[in-house]
Amino acid sequence: MLNGRTPSVKDVAAAAGVSLGTVSNVMNRPEVVSARTRERVERAMADLGFVRNESARQLRAGTSRTLAYVMLDGTNPFFHDVAQGIELAAEDADLSLFICNSNSRAEREEAHLDRLLQQRVQGILITPVNSEAPYLYDLTRRGVPLVIVDRRRDDESCCSVAVDDVHGGRVAIEHLVEQGHTKVAFIGGPDSIGQVRERLQGAREVWAELGLPADDLVYLPTEAMTVGEGRSAGERLAGLPARRRPTAAFCANDLLALGLLQQGIGAGLRVPDDLAIVGFDDIEFAAAAAVPLTSVRQPRQELGRAAAQLVLDEATNPDHEHQQLFFTPELVARASSRAR
């Protein structure tokens, strides 16, 4: 029972009439201790309600049993799916996962990283605000296993797992053009976000290759990648003169697309007849929208799982080599963009 303080190995040892070392062995190498004493010790642990103190273990071992994921935006289910993938891999390796959320603010991100460093986590996975931030390079210099998720670094100085965003932008636009659209909006921002820049780049590339006039791919920048911003982009779209108004929109993520969809329907537009919509990420809610959303699918859990494997390799394998994993996203066509 509980008599004030939480019991330590010392208390267990005393209760079982053995030495400290033996108790430790029962926990860590049960095979070297005889069945009789093992039982006695286990009973003592149960009686006292002993729980191993992880700080002490960690202090001695020099390393913790946790990974950490610093996500970019907690309001976007996409990142939780990534986290779920990481968690599964962590669980397999018998590690805990620390989940942090920077909310797209660099200073929160840096504060989280500082904390994680103090905790001596085994490795850090991060979808950074800016993958070139100096404090990220510091981590690598320090030797902390680091994997950048859903982004990559220009030089290849750490592992990363990402999707080919340029390609994603291409397939989205190709699809819309195939459906007969010749005036299309790209909705996304701010363009400090690398994903946005590359998806737009892909869109523009293929638009040019198909010989369409650059002016007919209009860029509607947003302040953030949220449902609310999607709605307000919809209003701006509706405000355009009919001749210049696009008949389709490619949104840089699904939250924007859902906001746009809602605003459009609320304003009496028929989707896809008056306005076709393509999103990005293919989150759960995309398929569940009232007009199921066409989206560029990222393998969300896979991304997380692969990243976790990389970070574990870096943490445990002495001749680890940095890798840049690259997944190819694919278009999932649904009702929101079907041919007119």
Residue 298 CB, nearest approach to its own copies (Å): 17
Other CB atoms closer than 10 Å to residue 257's CB: what's the count?
30
Question: Which option in DNA, its own copies, none does residue 25 bind, with CB closer than 5 to 8 A by kind?
Answer: DNA
Q: E strands of the chain, at which residues?
A: 66-71, 96-101, 123-126, 146-149, 159-163, 184-188, 217-221, 248-251, 276-281, 294-297, 324-327, 330-332
Residue 45 CB, nearest approach to DNA (Å): 10
The interface region with DNA, picked from 28-36, 76-84, 182-190, 242-250 by CB under 7 A, is: 28-36
Site for its own copies in 274-303 (CB under 8 A): 284-285, 288-292
Question: Which option in DNA, its own copies, none does residue 87 bind, with CB closer than 5 to 8 A by kind?
Answer: its own copies
Nearer to DNA, 118 or 317 (CB): 118
Site for DNA in 51-80 (CB under 7 A): 51-53, 56-57, 59-62
DSSP state of 241: -
Q: In Å, how far from its chain's centre is CA 180? A: 34
Does 22 bind DNA (CB under 7 A)? Our answer is yes
Q: Give the integer Cα–Cα distance in Å for 69 and 99.
A: 5
Beta bridge partners of 281: 297
Provide the b/e sequence for 287-302 (b: ≥16 CB within 10 Å). eebebbbbbbbbbbbb
Best CA proximity match to 308, nearest among 58, 55, 94, 76: 94
Question: Which option in DNA, its own copies, none does residue 227 bind, with CB closer than 5 to 8 A by kind?
Answer: its own copies
Q: Distances from the Cα of 211 to the Cαs of 56, 168, 339, in angstroms? A: 66, 19, 21
Q: Strand 330-332 and strand 294-297: pairing?
A: antiparallel
Nearer to its own copies, 166 or 315 (CB): 315
Does 115 bind its own copies (CB under 8 A)? Our answer is yes
Q: Distances from the Cα of 170 to the Cαs of 84, 142, 173, in angstroms? A: 28, 38, 5
Q: Could you give the string, one character per residue 32-51, with x where binding to DNA holds by CB under 7 A and - elsewhere?
A: xxx-xx------------xx
Query: Which one of 133, 265, 315, 333 is in contact with its own copies (CB under 8 A)?
Result: 265
Question: Which option in its own copies, DNA, none does residue 24 bind, with CB closer than 5 to 8 A by kind?
Answer: DNA
Tokens of 312: 């574990």
Does 7 bind its own copies (CB under 8 A)? Our answer is no
Does 41 bind its own copies (CB under 8 A)? Our answer is no
Binding site for its own copies (CB under 8 A): 2, 6, 49, 51-56, 58-59, 64, 74-75, 77, 80, 83-84, 87, 96, 98-101, 114-115, 117-120, 138, 141-143, 227, 231, 258-259, 261-262, 265-266, 284-285, 288-292
